[in-house]
Structure 1
């Protein structure tokens, strides 16, 4: 399958799972509406799709949400298989994605460097 079609299928899967979470169609109590599906990577042979999940909650609660999604994977796959018309629907693998928290940490470090840089600049001018 072409790269473009894999990306497009991944986006469709991401949109549908996000919609299911927001509409609370997944009945597992660990699956919170605060969970965010960042991206979906579909393998070339459509055998599996890696679903990257993050949240603004702490990592422990997000990990519980990922476990809830893993336990509901069969329901999610069957629901999506009915909505999306593809011959073979990929097996869903849910993975905790740390990119948002890493991004926040990076922004925080940049702010600290900027503050330190401003303090150093103001200190040099006084001397």
Structure 2
């Protein structure tokens, strides 16, 4: 799979999962609308995809719970993607917490505090 097709697949998966979360199609109570899909990394053959999940909530346990909820619903999510998108092979999804956005936000706040002093 060339890089352009791979990037298109990653963006398509990210948009579809984000839409499912936003419209409440995933009924697991651990998955709420405060989480966001930050990035998707597809394998070169398109058979697997790592989905990175983030949240701006303070509690890191909530992020872990959301990732567990998404992992529990992975088969359902894959089935919905297969229905909505014409793909020869729907990738197997694995979900991972992305703490980078929250950590970046905290560093920015600390830098702002230092500049005030």
| TM-score interval, normalised by the smaller of the two chains | over 0.9
Q: CA deviation at 1:112?
A: 2.9
Write the distance in 1 (CA, Å) between the matches of 2:94 and 2:33: 19
TM, length-normalised to structure 1: 0.86
CA distance in structure 1 between the aligned counterparts of 2:109 and 2:30, rounded to whole angstroms: 30
Q: Distance in 2 between matches of 1:113 and 1:43?
A: 42
2:91 corresponds in structure 1 to: 90
Q: Tell me by how many angstroms 1:113 deviates.
A: 3.0
User: What is the match of residue 3 of structure 2?
Assistant: 3
Give 1:27 deviation, angstroms: 1.0
- Higher fraction of helix: 1
Pairing 1:34-113 to 2, within 5 Å after superposition: 34-57=34-57, 58-113=59-114
Cα distance in 1 for residues equivalent to 2:44 and 2:85? 17
User: Which of these two proteins has the greater Rg computed from alpha carbons?
Assistant: 1
Q: Deviations over 1:58-94 (max 9, x none)?
A: 2111110110000000000011011111111111010
> What count of residue pairs does the alignment treat as equivalent?
116
Output the TM-score relative to the length of structure 2. Answer: 0.93
| Paired residue secondary structure (2:49) | strand
Structure 1 vs Structure 2 CA RMSD: 1.0
